[in-house]
Amino acid sequence: MDPILVEQKGHTAVVTINHPPANAWNLTTMEAFEACVNALEADNQVRVILLTGAGDRCFSAGFDVKDAANGPKIGALGRSLWTRLDRFAKPVIAAINGFALGGGLELALSCHFRIMADAPKIFIGLTELNLGIIPGWGGTQRLTQVVGKAKALDMILFSKTINAKEALAIGLVNQIAAPDKLMEEALAFADRLAQRPPIAVGCVLKAMSTGIYEGLERGLEVELEGSRTVRTTEDCQEGFTAFLEKRPPVFKGK
């Protein structure tokens, strides 16, 4: 059974974590995901990545304790891959179809957008302190960036889990949906993103992540580089032409 499934729908690649029952991360799953990320990064036909979990119970429950012997390797890959997604030049959407706990929520936090199924038994949280450990795949940093220091401390130190409505209220997710409508709404959101000019989208993502990781001055430099890049693209010409012709632009990523 393939631990990572990929299905392309238009310019969107739907990536499914397929490691039941909890879609947890062992070394095999992590290495398959790394290969998937490599392929999607190089594929010019893919403009958006939509990430979800197999089944309807778990998006991902984080680290697979059954593969504890490979813990150091899994942890190193988790930290590097989650950061790579956070800095990815193509939009990544997490469709949170079930529990997202520990490393699973850390993965969702590394995505640019999060859409969560709204159901009474679906919760998300960084619950590592219940085991006497701490979030180690970026959770202390990214949760703080998204919801603020006070709320992040409250969630992490008390291992609190929250439902979809609570997550939406604090800005942890961008959108919620009925479970049977989650993928439909997530794909519609992905399709809208895919219609945006891919080169310009990539430049925006690169400039934003550079500012976060490397500081404001370097972020402004990368923003300027991006401004110069997009001026020479066919998409730029198409955008201005479509504006003058009063029609929707059709961007080709050139």
Q: Is residue 79 domain-shared with residue 158, that is, in the same domain?
A: yes
Question: Do residues 91 and 164 both lie within one domain?
Answer: yes
Percent of the chain with pLDDT over 70: 100
pLDDT single digits (tens) 205-224: 999 999 999 999 999 999 99
pTM, two decimals, is 0.95
Q: Is the bond into 179 cis (omega within 30 degrees of 0)?
A: no
Do 178 and 211 lie in one domain? The reply is no
173 phi and psi angles, rounded to 5 deg = -125, 155
pLDDT in tens, 123-159: 999 999 999 999 999 999 999 999 999 999 999 999 9
Do residues 186 and 229 both lie within one domain?
no
**73 plus 163 within the same structural domain:** yes
Catalytic-residue membership of 234: no
Q: What is the CATH number of the domain that holds 228?
A: 1.10.12
Confidence of residue 8 (pLDDT cuts 50, 70, 90): very high
Please tell me whether residues 154 and 208 are part of one structural domain: no
The per-residue pLDDT for range 77-94, each reduced to its tens digit, is 999 999 999 999 999 999
Same structural domain, 209 and 93: no
Which domain, by its residues, includes 86?
A: 4-194
Instruction: Compare 56 and 25 and report the one with higher pLDDT.
Output: 25
Look at strands 12-17 and 4-9 and give their pairing: antiparallel
Query: What is the pLDDT at residue 159?
Result: 98
Determine which one of 7, 41, 128, 245 is catalytic.
128
Element housing 8 (H / E): strand 4-9
Same domain as 231, residue 129: no
Name the catalytic one among 7, 31, 41, 106.
106
- Considering the domain architecture, whether residues 59 and 183 belong to the same structural domain is answered as yes
Same domain for 228 and 186, yes or no, is no
Q: Does residue 106 have an active-site annotation? A: yes
Overall average pLDDT of the 37-46 stretch: 96
Confidence at residue 97, expressed as pLDDT on a 0 to 100 scale:
98
Tokens matching residue 191: 């399709």
Kindly report the number of other CB atoms within 10 A of residue 16's CB atom. Answer: 20
pLDDT at 1 over 90: no
Two tokens, residue 35: 């290969």
pLDDT at 24: 97
- Residues 156-170 have pLDDT tens digits of 999 999 999 999 999
> Residue 56 — pLDDT band, cuts 50, 70, 90?
confident
Does residue 211 contact residue 219 with C-beta atoms inside 8 Å? Answer: yes
Please state the rounded mean pLDDT for residues 47-52.
Answer: 98
Place of tokens 């990544």: 92
Burial 221-233 (b: 16+ CB within 10 A, else e): ebbeebeeebeeb
SS (H, E, C) 36-94: HHHHHHHCCCCCEEEEEECCCCEEECCECHHHHHHHHHHHHHHHHHHHHHHCCCCCEEE
Q: Name the amino acid, one letter, at 148.
A: G
Has residue 157 been placed in a domain?
Answer: yes
- Write down the pLDDT at residue 189: 98
Last residue within a domain, chosen from 194, 209, 225: 194
Does the pLDDT at position 35 exceed 90? Answer: yes
177-205: string of b/e by CB count within 10 Å (b at 16+)? beeeebbebbbebbbebbbebbbbbbbbb
Task: List, for residues 62-78, the tens digit of each pLDDT value.
Answer: 999 999 999 999 999 99
Give every strand in the sheet of 48-53, ordered side by side: 4-9, 12-17, 48-53, 92-96, 113-117, 175-177
Specify whether 215 is located in the same domain as 107: no
Average pLDDT, the chain: 96
Residue 253 domain flag: no
Residues 198, 235: contact at Cβ < 8 Å?
yes
Per residue in 170-195, pLDDT (tens digit) is 999 999 999 999 999 999 999 999 99
Beta strands in 131-219 (DSSP E): 175-177
Name the packing angle between helices 216-231 and 198-214 (round to 10°): 170
Task: Name the 3-class secondary structure at 208.
Answer: helix
pLDDT bracket for residue 25 (50, 70, 90): very high
Number of domains in the chain: 2
